[in-house]
Structure 1
Amino acid sequence: MAEQEHGSSSSKKTNLLVYKNLTLFQIIIKAVRLNARTSGATDLGIINCIKLWLAQSKNRLKNKRLSMNNEEEKH
């Protein structure tokens, strides 16, 4: 879904609609809005945070594996 975004406003609106229809997205929206500090976040703002978090997932996994390997070497 994120790969479909090309930067145009109609493309962004389409992406927003695609995400808004996902059950997991609805759960995340509700959770974000329960937090007093983020209760005013827009759907688009939340989507952008999710995209950033997902884009970094490969690096997080790589770092976790490296950390686990380093811990094993210590023992």
Structure 2
Amino acid sequence: MTMSRAAHPVPAVVPLLAWRELHELDALKAERRALMGRLEAMRPCSHRRIVLQADLERLTARIIAAELALKGGRS
């Protein structure tokens, strides 16, 4: 019997080597959570809510791009 290496998968990025990128990603996610909280408190058709929803979309796109960059994808 041989042991498979699938039991201990190697991460795509070693956290120690990408700590700045991981820290920035955590900050973006925290900003996104805060923005979602602000959106929940607003009236559905308010102008400010529409602006914040656009900000949320841009922020989400940045988070996805950062995650892809960390995994070795293209940004």
Same-fold status (TM-score > 0.5) = no
User: Going by fraction, where is helix more abundant, 1 or 2?
Assistant: 1
Q: Relative contact order, CA 8 A, sep 6+: which one is greater?
A: 2
Q: Which structure has the bigger radius of gyration?
A: 2
> What is the TM-score with the length of structure 1 in the denominator?
0.34
> What is the TM-score with the length of structure 2 in the denominator?
0.34
